Structures are given as C-alpha cells and as structure tokens.
Structure 1
Amino acid sequence: MSSKFFESLSSSAGGEDTGVGEDEFLARSLASTVWSVELRTQNPASLQVQSRRGEVVAPPQWHSVAMKEDREERPWADLNAEVLAEIFDLLSFEERLTVLPLVCKDWREASLYPASWRNVDLKPWITREVGPVRFRASARELNMDRLVRFVVDRSCGNLRQLHTRFCTGEALDYLAEKCPQLTVLSLCDCGMVQDESAVRLAERCKKIEELDLSDCYEVSSKSIAAFGSKCPQLRHFTRRMVNWNMYKESPPRPRGDMDAFAIAKSMASLKHLDLTSMFSLTDAGLIRIANSCKDLETLDISGCFKVSLAARDLLEIPQ
C-alpha cells in the first residue's frame, strides 16, 4: 500500500487534478490493505509454496472483497450507530478507514458517522508511509492536504483533535473554514505553511487548547502571537525545532528569542511549553518567558545550547 497510496496523496500537491475519484482512492487503499493483512496471517512456508505455484500474484480488486456479516446474535447488537461511532472514534485512523467498513454493514454505517471522526491522529500512518521516501524528497515536496481534507469532510466539520504532518497553507485554510470547534491541533514538518494561513486559522479556531507548531519554519512569531491572543484557552504549546537539517536548501532563519518574546507577551496562561532544539533561544528569551508565564508547570529547553547554565540555575531548571 505504501507507494501507490502515498503517490495518490502527494500527487495532489500544487492543486493538480489527479484524475482519481474519492471512491476509487479509498477502494485502492482498502483492497491493498486487506490483501496485506491476509498475507501476514498466513504461514510463511505456505506462502512460499503458493508463490511457486503462481497463486499469490496480486492484491484482490475492491469488488472481490466480500462484506461478510455474522448472522448470529452479536454482543454489541443492541448498540446503536451513535454509540458505535463514539467507540470507533478511539481507534486509529487506518483502522477506521480500512478495517471497520469490512466487518459488517452496521459497522460500515457507523464508521461513516461524523462522530467517528472527531479525533484523528494521522501522524503514525504518515510517518510509516512516508518513511521510505522521506529522504528522497525535500520536506517541502511532501503534501498531505488531501488526507486532511478527507478527514475534515468525514467529520462534517465536527473535528475536535487533529495530529498531522507535511501540510500546506491550503489545508489550514480548509480547517479554518470548516472546523471552528478544534481544541487540539498538531502541525509538524509543515515547511510550506506560512503566517497568512496560520493567522487565519487562529482567528477562526478560537477554542484551541493544545497547539504544536514543531518544525514549521515559515511560521514566525506573528503567528505565535495570533494564537496566543485569539485562543484564550491555550494551555499547551510545542515548538520543537529538531528537523532543521531537512531544510538545507533553504536554512531556517534563527528567531528563537523573537518566538520567546511572542510567547511571553501573548501566552501568559500556558501550563506546558516545549522548545526543544530552539537553537537560537538565548538567556534573554528564556528569562522573558519565566517572568511572564507564571503558571508554567513544565518547560523543556533540551538542545537550546545558547541558554547558559547560569540562566538555568537562576530559573531552577534541571540540567
């Protein structure tokens, strides 16, 4: 599934028409995933025999995947679709997309309920699928906008939590337009997201409580200030800069203290702050945060080598 599914996603970068409809797009994923699961559950020795006989040659087509339903009484038979949707919302993205629809008709219907898509973590799937190509492509070329749009549409705008990577400003604009109820948003490695889209998102999604802008190098202190002022319930902020070496073709501009000043000015109610590898953060920025964010319970400045030991001692930060 890895290469074909990822290619169908990444080909949408730049607004180009891929020529693949949503139904066909999902069908390819389901067929390929079902085939992979079937192979993993078989005995390796029997697979070798089947391969020599020419029996294991290709994944089944979507129309050949039977939707089998157990006719016997099921322990969850009395649960209505709304309750099932609440349970399904706890499962992984891939399980909701490729497993639940194949169990039975009731589960398929429940998996399509917006309540099944209120909390979505795309990062494990993206990390696994992108892994083989990540070091063959610039981080700026990876694009998961189509995947984000799919999740937003499935939730019918009821998305509450989203964790994703490799998005552009178009995905943020879509979130801002469709998902005003967002409370948790994690955007990592989004090298093409710029302030314009980030500020627009902050203005539309004012209920955000947890925000992660790690490795978003085109997002500046302007966006940080916007989230701080527009999202009064913001309590968790993460700004880890650990993958800057992926941007060798366009090194990120050092602005650790500028980000720190914006945090101190607009996010005084923070309880948890992570600035891991904020390589240009100095004592001045750290002290400004300490003086303004009085409610901080955790502060991570691992890898901030420009922060002196004296400043750490002054603020009683463990070495």
Structure 2
Amino acid sequence: MDDKEGGSESGPSHDWADLTHECLVNVLSHISLEDRWRGAMLVCKSWLRACREPCFNTVFDLETRFDSATELPRHWTPEFERKIDSMLQSVVLWSDGSLTEIRVRHCSNRSLSLVAESCPNLQVLSIKSSPHVTDEIMAKIASGCPKLRELDVSYCYEISHESLALIGRHCSSLRIFRRNLMNWLDPSQHIRIVPSEYLDACPQDGDSDATAIGKFMPNLLHLELRFSKLTSKGLVLISEGCLNLEYLDLSGCANLTSRDIVNASSYLKNLKTIKKPNFYIPRSVYHAERYGLWRLYDERFQTDVFRI
C-alpha cells in the first residue's frame, strides 16, 4: 500500500488532530495534569480546546511537583510568580465554576482575586510560600469560597490573624488548617533560597493566630502550627475552642514546655496524634548565660545545645 492510499508498510497512518472532540476528551482523561500542560496542549488547537474542558479543571494540583523538586531561588522571583499566576488564572477560567481543589505555591493576589470571584465550590486551597498574598485578598476568599474545608497558608507571612478570623467566620466547614512557619531556630535550610528580608518578616505574635483559631475555627480536626511562636496562653485558647481536634502538630514551637502541652491537651478528648516540639535549640538563639554547675558542665563537655 502506498502513501496515496493513506497507509505505509508499517500500517495505516492516523491524524490524531482529526479525532472528534468527544474522543479527544476521552483520550486526554487518561493522562496526567503535567502531560496535558507540557504535551497535549501544544499539539494543535483542537487538542488545546479539549484540554480546556471543565472536566479537566476541577482540580489544579502542583504540590506534588514542588514536593518532588528542591526549592530554588528562582521560585521566589517575580517572573516565576507571574507564571504560576497565569496558569492558575487559566484553570479558573476553564473550570467554569467547577474548580474544587487548588494546590499551588508562589501565587499572588492577582490570581487569587479571580479565584475568589469565580470559584464558589472551592473546597481545598493550598498556597504555601506565597509572599505576596495579603489579608485583602484573603478577605475576598473568605466571602467568595464559603465551602472551604482545607486551607494551607504556610510560609505566607503577609497573612495575619485577621484573615484567620474571617476565614473561620465564613467557612464553617473548615476541618484542616495549616499555618506553618519556616524554621527560624535553624534557618540554614532557607538561606540563599528564600530572600533574607522575607525570613526576617516571620510573624512574631503566635498568640494572635491562636486566638483567632480557637474562637472562629471550632470544627477543626487537623491543625498544623510548626515553628509558631505561640505560648501556653495561645495553646490553651486553641484547646478550649477546638475540642474536636484529632491531629495537632506543634513541631518547633519553642515557647511551649511539656507541661504546657499536657495541660492543654487534656481538653482534647478526640486527639489521636500530637507532634511535640522535640528538638535542639542553638544557645545563640537565646543569648542566655548559664551559671554554676551548668557552666562547669559546659566547659567540661563543650555543649552548645540543650533539649526541650
């Protein structure tokens, strides 16, 4: 069979661009999000049109991509942020209101403004490491996405306790909340990656966050506050207000003692997992002088850390 008859020695040829829209949608449903964005969308206009179907844009999850790669300095640049914003804005428009889950990093108010306006069915929002997301846009998210059941604003230092209160007031279905901070006790893992001025902007008042959580998020089941600077007062407020908690992560919370945690967790009858602040703290963090026998012990064994 020659080429004029539509075939070759290896078999009949096929023009995938001629597939019906319904067939294309069926084929594309079997490939990953990454394969659609990096391959299928670039084939031709008909493939791009199929990739824009709302059924492919109910979930936008880039978190697995970030988890599998090392954080890079370029991720914290305006150029990278604009790329993430552009992708998210496209997905929001293509979803036609059906978007229920967003897991990205390094987005900004530009894209989240469209999310707040166009995603009333959103249930999951994870925007870790987004330095330019502010209280202003989180207020719009709170009113525009009342069905939120999971929210992650870890490493978003422009989001304050005011946003947490608004989210709690408007999103009564919230069950999972993550407000983790970067490791300020040992920032070496972030140096030369995260801008130093951003590391210095780490929120200082963990008890304000704790007050908002305890007062306005009573239905939480899962709470993460790694490296928060909350004190025993804030932890008690959370324990008294979030009685249904099953999972609590307090890793790196240097202002809490074992006694604080025991006293506060006595309120939490449903608690199944608690991660305590069990770590070494460099003495230089506190610049504390130690006296008497402790000084003799230091000189003899040359210790430079102590354990909480």
Q: Flag whether TM exceeds 0.5 (same fold).
A: yes
Find the partner of 1:266 among 202, 216, 235.
216
Aligned to 1:286: 235
2: CA distance between counterparts of 1:232 and 1:67?
53
Change (3 A) 1:140 1:282: farther
Match status 1:134 vs 2:134 = no
Aligned to 1:98: 38
TM-score (norm 1): 0.66
Q: Given the alignment, which residue of 177, 192, 196 partners 1:248? A: 196
Select the residue among 219, 223, 226 that pairs with 2:159. Answer: 219
Separation in 1, partners of 2:104, 2:95: 15
2:258 match: 309
Which residue type is aligned with residue 311 of structure 1? D
Describe the SS at the equivalent of 1:207: coil
Instruction: Sort the Cα spacing of 1:291 and 1:155 in 2 relative to 1 into closer, same or farther, 3 A.
Output: same
Alignment of 1:1-319 (within 5 A): 68-69=15-16, 87=29, 92-101=32-41, 110-125=50-65, 131-134=71-74, 142-143=81-82, 144-242=84-182, 245=187, 246-249=194-197, 250-278=200-228, 280-314=229-263, 315=265, 317=274, 319=276
Paired with 1:70 and 1:253, the residues of 2 have a C-alpha distance of 53
The whole-number CA distance in structure 2 between the counterparts of 1:235 and 1:70 is: 45
Listed as ranges, the gaps of 5+ residues in structure 1 are 1-65, 72-76
Distance 2:26 2:210 in 1: 44
What residue identity is the alignment partner of 1:285? G
Displacement of 1:139 in angstroms is: 8.2
1:287 and 1:318 map into 2 onto residues whose CA distance is: 16
Structure whose CA Rg is larger: 2
Say if 2:25 and 2:51, in contact at 8 Å, map to a contact too.
no
1:138 and 1:247 in contact (8 A); partners too:
no
Where does residue 74 of structure 1 map in the other structure?
A: none
| Partners of 2:219 and 2:244 within 8 A in 1 | yes
Separation in structure 2 between the aligned mates of residue 140 and residue 218 of structure 1, nearest angstrom: 19
> Whole-Å Cα distance in 2 between the matches of residues 234 and 168 of structure 1?
22
Aligned-pair identity in percent equals 33
Cα distance in 2 for residues equivalent to 1:68 and 1:256: 60
Kindly state the Cα deviation for residue 252 of structure 1 after the two structures are TM-superposed.
2.4
Secondary structure of the structure 2 residue equivalent to 1:233 = coil
User: Which consecutive residues of structure 2, in runs of 5 or more, have no partner in the other structure?
Assistant: 1-12, 188-193, 267-273, 277-308
Q: CA RMSD in A?
A: 3.4
Structure 1 residue 102, shift from structure 2 partner? 7.2
| 1:250-280 superposed Cα distances (whole Å, 9 cap, x missing partner) | 52230211101100000001011111121x1
Do the aligned residues in 1 keep the contact of 2:164 with 2:212 (CA within 8 Å)?
yes
Instruction: State the 1:138 CA deviation.
Output: 5.7
1:235–1:271 contact (8 Å) kept in structure 2: yes
Q: Which amino acid aligns with 2:215?
A: K
Letter in 2 for 1:260: A
TM-score (norm: length of structure 2): 0.69
Retained in 2: the 8 A contact 1:162–1:184?
yes
- CA distance 1:83–1:69, shift in 2 (3 Å): closer
Cα deviations by residue, 1:124-170 (Å, 9 ceiling, x for unpaired)? 445678844438x5689844211211111221232110001111112
